[in-house]
């Protein structure tokens, strides 16, 4: 039924793009990927087998030591590799981030529609240390250098190999310190006809670029393989890793076909004090949700048509940026000009939309994985499900003011139950101690017990005004 409603509203054109409607609450705060230490951020745009992957790079350390190996389905020519700006990944992260919204209760004494709504349900890139460098003798290792070029601040090498031990030997000689078990994984990719994308930092170019950080690398290729290789990343990592995958597709939501996709808990009322610790809240909630599913699932954090949002954690990305991120099917933006008025016709001002609605659907998947719980690479598929989902958490501010009217008294009496529910929601979502939560809410001036509700003001207090 939800589908039908959404369809009807869409047909009425209610969804103006880029406008915060305050329909799903006023946006307060968001939980971006930065909350999760060293979370890999990958944007994947795909339609008709044409795929563009953008990998954000938050490598912290000596740039000389940066090196990545990524399996790719085909040999990439120079034009198929690009570096882009950090802000694009940051923007899509902000746009899709789980969000905190707030509502303010109306004055129950003046609100004519007052109703007691007490309980509104309201690829891991493999960064490896480089040891030394030595001249290349790729062919000795059964390794073919398919292409070699510099793009932006990166030196890129595309390799194909016949045997994993040869590839391993070559990589070792090139100074890549590979984790244990890498040979087998590389061998598996070789047999699946994958090529290897190697990138190191070209220090000269990096200095010239003027950037103090490494920009995201992009690769474009055409392949029926719709997957994200995570296995190399699980080899050298201790414990769990976080991956946030943002996909841009033409039709609908993306899901994993070899792991269950689960919606992150959403649309829950939580205590107002969480406003100051939303990041902590989201982290604890994600931990709890991941534990509950034994870390064997992919979490859906956002799924929405790229042309609008409600409420917006950030503006939708303009078409130009979506194209840069690989949404090749979106037409390049044209200069929009107002139509010339017909001779004799009264001139009207027609507001022009800033751009046509984006024909792109964004999905944000959050995976917490390790080699044991996620033994296989992520196999993905695009579905035709274009219903909307967002991680959304609701604060409900109580009305502060004169509540001496009958409705006001009822309202006051209803608050302890509502606050208790918020406390329980928060405890359930985060695993935090319920008594700590109750205490914090009390300290924050929330009415928690029936006994705390102030007695009604005597009726005669309001009839004589005394100077």
Partner 1 sequence: MISPPNDPRYFQIISLSAFVAAQMIWFDFAPELAVLALNMAAALVTQWIACRIVGAGFDYRSPLITSLSLTILLKASALWVYPLAAILAITSKFTLRSGSSHIFNPANFAIVALLLALSDYVWVAPGQWGATMLTALMIIGFGLSVLTHVKGRFDMGFLFLGIWSALAFIRALWLGDPMDIPAHQLQNGALLIFAFFMISDPKTIPAHFHGRIVFALSVALFAFTLTHVFQVREALFYALAALCLMRPLFDMIWRATPYNWPQKEKLS
163-201 burial, b if ≥16 CB within 10 A, otherwise e? Answer: bbebbbbbbebbbbebeeebbebbbebbeeebbbbbbbb
> Does residue 1 touch partner 1 according to CB under 8 A?
yes
Query: Nearest distance from residue 221's CB to partner 1, in Å?
Result: 14
Query: Nearest distance from residue 357's CB to partner 1, in Å?
Result: 18
Distances 75 to 70, 72, 188 between C-alpha atoms, Å: 12, 8, 17
Query: Nearest distance from residue 382's CB to partner 1, in Å?
Result: 8
Closest residue by Cα to residue 71 from 200, 229, 219, 178: 229
Stretch that binds partner 1, among 223-231, 304-312, 399-407, 418-426 (CB under 8 A): 223-231
- CA 289 to chain centroid: 16
Which is closer to partner 1, CB of 224 or CB of 467?
Answer: 224
The dihedrals phi and psi of 124, each to the nearest 5 degrees, come to: -25, 115
Among 3, 64, 120, 406, binds partner 1 (CB under 8 A): 3
Q: Which of residues 172-211 bind partner 1 (CB under 8 A)?
A: 184, 187-188, 191-192
Is-contact 151 82, C-beta < 8 A?
yes
The Cα–Cα gap between 298 and 381 comes to 13
Stretch that binds partner 1, among 51-59, 289-297, 358-366, 441-449 (CB under 8 A): 289-297
The interface mask with partner 1, positions 227-266, x = CB under 8 A, is ------------------------xx--xxxxxxxxx---
Which is closer to partner 1, CB of 34 or CB of 49?
Answer: 49
Query: Nearest distance from residue 369's CB to partner 1, in Å?
Result: 12
Stretch that binds partner 1, among 106-114, 120-128, 378-386, 408-416 (CB under 8 A): 378-386
> Does residue 292 touch partner 1 according to CB under 8 A?
no
Strands (E), 109-188: 143-151, 154-161
Could you check whether the bond before residue 133 is cis, i.e. omega within 30 degrees of 0?
no
Query: Nearest distance from residue 120's CB to partner 1, in Å?
Result: 22
Stretch that binds partner 1, among 1-9, 144-152, 207-215, 280-288 (CB under 8 A): 1-9
Q: To which residue do tokens 């100074």 refer?
A: 175
> Does residue 305 touch partner 1 according to CB under 8 A?
no
Which is closer to partner 1, CB of 167 or CB of 199?
Answer: 167
Query: Nearest distance from residue 381's CB to partner 1, in Å?
Result: 5
> Does residue 226 touch partner 1 according to CB under 8 A?
yes
Strands (E), 31-112: 40-47, 50-55, 67-72, 81-83, 99-104
Query: Nearest distance from residue 264's CB to partner 1, in Å?
Result: 10
Query: Nearest distance from residue 391's CB to partner 1, in Å?
Result: 13
Q: Which residues does 345 contact at the CB level (< 8 Å), separation at least 6? A: none
Task: Give me 201's structure tokens.
Answer: 């930092």
The Cα–Cα gap between 339 and 150 comes to 45
Residue 146 CB coordination number (10 Å): 16
Which is closer to partner 1, CB of 298 or CB of 396?
Answer: 298
The interface mask with partner 1, positions 383-402, x = CB under 8 A, is xxxx----------------
Which is closer to partner 1, CB of 80 or CB of 234?
Answer: 234
Is-contact 389 89, C-beta < 8 A?
no
> Does residue 445 touch partner 1 according to CB under 8 A?
no
Q: Which residues does 447 contact at the CB level (< 8 Å), separation at least 6? A: 412, 415, 416, 419, 453
> Does residue 300 touch partner 1 according to CB under 8 A?
yes
Q: Which of residues 42-71 bind partner 1 (CB under 8 A)?
A: none
- # binding residues, partner 1 (CB under 8 A): 37
The region that residue 18 occupies, defined by phi over 0 for left and psi between -120 and 50 for alpha, beta otherwise, is: left
- CA 66 to chain centroid: 25
Q: To which residue do tokens 């205590």 refer?
A: 271
The Cα–Cα gap between 36 and 39 comes to 5
> Does residue 225 touch partner 1 according to CB under 8 A?
yes
> Does residue 431 touch partner 1 according to CB under 8 A?
no
Query: Nearest distance from residue 255's CB to partner 1, in Å?
Result: 6
Q: Which residues bind partner 1 (CB under 8 A)?
A: 1, 3-4, 164, 184, 187-188, 191-192, 224-226, 251-252, 255-263, 294, 296-298, 300, 372, 375-376, 379, 381, 383-386
């Amino acid at each position: 039924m939800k589908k039908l409603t959404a369809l009807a509203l869409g047909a009425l054109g209610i969804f103006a793009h880029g406008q915060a409607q305050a329909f799903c609450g006023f946006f307060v705060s968001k939980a971006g990927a930065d909350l999760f230490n060293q979370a890999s951020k990958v944007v994947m745009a795909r339609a008709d087998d044409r795929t563009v992957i953008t990998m954000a790079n938050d490598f912290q350390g000596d740039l000389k030591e940066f090196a990545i190996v990524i399996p790719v389905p085909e040999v990439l020519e120079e034009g198929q590799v690009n570096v882009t700006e950090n802000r694009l990944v940051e923007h899509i992260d902000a746009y899709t981030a789980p969000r905190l919204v707030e509502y303010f209760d109306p004055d129950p004494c003046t609100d004519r529609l007052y109703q007691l709504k007490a309980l509104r349900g309201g690829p891991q890139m493999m960064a490896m240390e480089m040891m030394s460098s030595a001249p290349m003798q790729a062919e000795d290792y059964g390794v073919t250098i398919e292409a070699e070029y510099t793009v932006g601040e990166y030196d890129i090498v595309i390799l194909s190999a016949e045997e994993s031990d040869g590839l391993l030997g070559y990589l070792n000689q090139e100074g890549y310190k590979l984790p244990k078990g890498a040979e087998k994984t590389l061998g598996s990719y070789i047999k699946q006809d994958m090529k290897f994308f190697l990138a190191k930092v070209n220090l000269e170019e990096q200095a010239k670029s003027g950037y103090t950080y490494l920009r995201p690398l992009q690769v474009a290729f055409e392949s029926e393989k719709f997957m994200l290789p995570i296995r190399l990343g699980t080899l050298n990592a201790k414990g769990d890793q976080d991956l946030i995958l943002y996909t841009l597709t033409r039709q609908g939501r993306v899901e994993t076909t070899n792991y269950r996709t689960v919606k992150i808990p959403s649309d829950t009322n939580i205590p107002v004090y969480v406003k100051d610790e939303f990041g902590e809240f989201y982290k604890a909630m994600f931990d709890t949700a991941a534990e509950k599913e034994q870390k064997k699932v992919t979490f859906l954090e956002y799924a929405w048509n790229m042309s609008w949002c409600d409420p917006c954690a950030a503006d939708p990305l303009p078409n130009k940026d979506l194209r840069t991120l690989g949404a090749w099917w979106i037409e390049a933006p044209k200069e929009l000009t107002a139509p010339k008025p017909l001779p004799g016709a009264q001139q009207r001002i027609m507001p022009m939309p800033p751009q046509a609605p984006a024909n792109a659907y964004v999905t944000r998947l959050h995976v917490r994985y390790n080699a044991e719980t996620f033994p296989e690479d992520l196999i993905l598929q695009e579905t035709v499900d274009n219903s909307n989902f967002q991680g959304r958490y609701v604060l409900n501010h109580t009305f502060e003011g004169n509540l001496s009217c009958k409705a006001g008294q009822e309202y006051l009496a209803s608050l302890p139950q509502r606050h208790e529910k918020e406390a329980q929601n928060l405890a359930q979502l985060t695993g935090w101690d319920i008594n700590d939560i109750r205490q914090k809410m009390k300290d924050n001036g929330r009415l928690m017990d029936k006994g705390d509700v102030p007695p009604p003001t005597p009726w005669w207090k309001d009839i004589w005004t005394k100077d």
